[in-house]
Amino acid sequence: MREYETTFIVQPEISDEAAKEFLTRLDGLLERSGAVRLLHDDQGKRRLAYDIQKFQKGRYVTSYYLSDGSAVTVLERALRLEESVLRFLTVMADPEVTDIEARKTRAAEQERQHAERARERALREAEEERAREADMRSGGSGGLGGRADDDDDDDDRGDDE
């Protein structure tokens, strides 16, 4: 068995539930094509280095699985047909995995770690969102003229970088 990892970018507007549902659908596909599902690593929303279909952000998910290779075409076909998937890339991570059970237990451990990371990230993002909102409110209450100019400057600099 070989280990493959398929990374794909999902549209950022897709809800968490819909994304989860899509992943379970992929699980079914993998199972039916004789592959061993290891884990899905949802890395959350990331900024794209360049626009894809006018999207500037995307949700990155990496699926790890063991297969003799036949599952790759099945999975890629499903990803190609799914409109909400912007891009995908499959890479062989390990040409020969002999101890499948050991790899499975390691994958379960990895999945736990990733879940933990995702929780922390969600908390952080929520915090940032709150901070941004608070900032907006305080900016709005301040004087119009000088404040607005200052904000403009900051924005310009951010875009340039």
Question: Which positions lie near other proteins, rule CB under 8 A?
Answer: 7, 9, 43, 46, 48-50, 52, 58, 60, 62, 87, 89, 91, 160-161
Compute the distance between CA of residue 19 and CA of residue 24 in angstroms, rounded to an integer.
Answer: 9
- Least Å distance, CB 31 to other proteins, is 25
- Least Å distance, CB 89 to other proteins, is 5
Nearer of residues 114 and 147 to other proteins, judged by Cβ: 114
DSSP code string of the chain: -EEEEEEEEE-TTS-HHHHHHHHHHHHHHHHHTT-EEEEEEEEEEEEEEEEETTEEEEEEEEEEEEESSHHHHHHHHHHHH-TTEEEEEEEEEES----HHHHHHHHHHHHHHHHHHHHHHHHHHHHHHHHHHHHHHHHHHS-HHHHHHHHHHHHHHHHH-
Nearer of residues 33 and 60 to other proteins, judged by Cβ: 60
- Least Å distance, CB 79 to other proteins, is 13
Nearer of residues 33 and 43 to other proteins, judged by Cβ: 43
Nearer of residues 66 and 85 to other proteins, judged by Cβ: 85
Nearer of residues 101 and 160 to other proteins, judged by Cβ: 160
- Least Å distance, CB 114 to other proteins, is 12
- Least Å distance, CB 153 to other proteins, is 17
